[in-house]
Amino acid sequence: MPAPTAEELRSTARVVSIPMRVRFRGVTHREALMLRGPAGWGEFAPFPEYDDIESAAWLRAAVEAAWAGFPEPVRGRVPVNATVPAVAASDVEPVLARFGTAPAVKIKVAERGQTLDDDVARVAEVRRLLPVARLRVDANGGWDVPAALEALEALAPYELEYAEQPVMSIADLRTVRLELRRREISTLIAADESVRKAEDPLRVAHEDAADLIVVKVAPLGGVRRALDIVAQAGLPAVVSSALDTSVGISAGVALAASLPELPYACGLGTLSLMEGDVSATPLMPDGGWLPVRAPEVSEELIERYAAPAERSAWWLERLERVVGLL
């Protein structure tokens, strides 16, 4: 299908701002620009700190969703993990309660202004509440090599499935991975930012720096490109969201449903961290699973969560700039 013109994109653009239940990655309101095309809805929502070149991939993903649709799935539902932000240990239980049954839990660590003791207490509380769940931690590259090794050794008794992006550079990822093996710590290393923010998303695999990769549809430029990256990397993949509405979540589900193998629960349950959505039937996990379906976007909800005029103008100006880079 021919790509839409800039005018077609502008004419369907709607900007929403949805409050978060808890602060997540510094975000208190999740803003997104919604686009409607012949295949349905797409979501353009790169975080504000992303430059226009990085944001172009997010727009390609939105255009794919709204104008081309997704590949045929090979499964009808996908497993989903719960997500615990960098909250106090005392706040873990109510956060988990919003997710219901979950086969795995991703726990944020290495939050700026917090300590390793805070991280250990948070992970320990999740393990106490869910003694048989698979646990993984996500540092978003917040540690250096010595801090990562100290933290992962301290967290090893909680039997982590993997640590996501403990350090930022690919060289440091490889160092941490090899040192964990030397210390006989079984925690696997997953690469996220080293895949979605890298000029060469396959470098982390070529340099033997990770055991698995985390893939997100929008930063990689769409479901089809993400499928290609996973195939070329030759590593197990975890599909995760970028704090999306149901529209963005549906793209992640489409990717997970199209992968030949899906060995890990997906990080696609993040709507539980938001106060609202653009769909009256949001893509929320049921018993730890998400169905493969397109969300029914509600005009009333788009109006309810419409961003303030100045923020809408900011997003439309960003759209104008990024369209020129496609």
Active site residues: 108, 216
- Helix, strand, coil content of the chain in percent (nearest 5): 40, 20, 35
The three-point CA angle 25-30-33 to 5° equals 130
Do the Cβ atoms of 283 and 54 come closer than 8 Å?
no
Burial 47-73 (b: 16+ CB within 10 A, else e): beebeeeebbbbbbbbbbbbbbbbeeb
**CA quadruple 182, 201, 105, 168: dihedral positive or negative?**
positive
- What DSSP designation does 261 have? -
Q: What is the spatial distance between Cα 263 and Cα 100, in angstroms, rounded to a whole number? A: 21
What one-character-per-residue DSSP string does 278-294 give? SBSS----BTTEEE---
Q: What is the spatial distance between Cα 252 and Cα 258, in angstroms, rounded to a whole number? A: 10
Q: What is the spatial distance between Cα 244 and Cα 44, in angstroms, rounded to a whole number? A: 9
Q: Tell me if 286 is assigned to a ligand binding site.
A: no
The Cβ-side half-sphere exposure at 321, using a 13 Å CA radius, reads: 12
Question: Which single residue is written with the structure tokens 């009256």?
Answer: 280
Number of H helices, E strands in the chain: 13, 12
Q: What is the spatial distance between Cα 62 and Cα 248, in angstroms, rounded to a whole number? A: 8
CA 12 to chain centre: 25
Residue type, 198: A
Q: Tell me if 52 is assigned to a ligand binding site.
A: no
Q: What is the spatial distance between Cα 255 and Cα 214, in angstroms, rounded to a whole number? A: 12
Residue 106: name the closest of 210, 194, 192 by CA: 192
Q: Tell me if 119 is assigned to a ligand binding site.
A: no
Task: List binding-site positions for Mg(2+).
Answer: 138, 164, 192
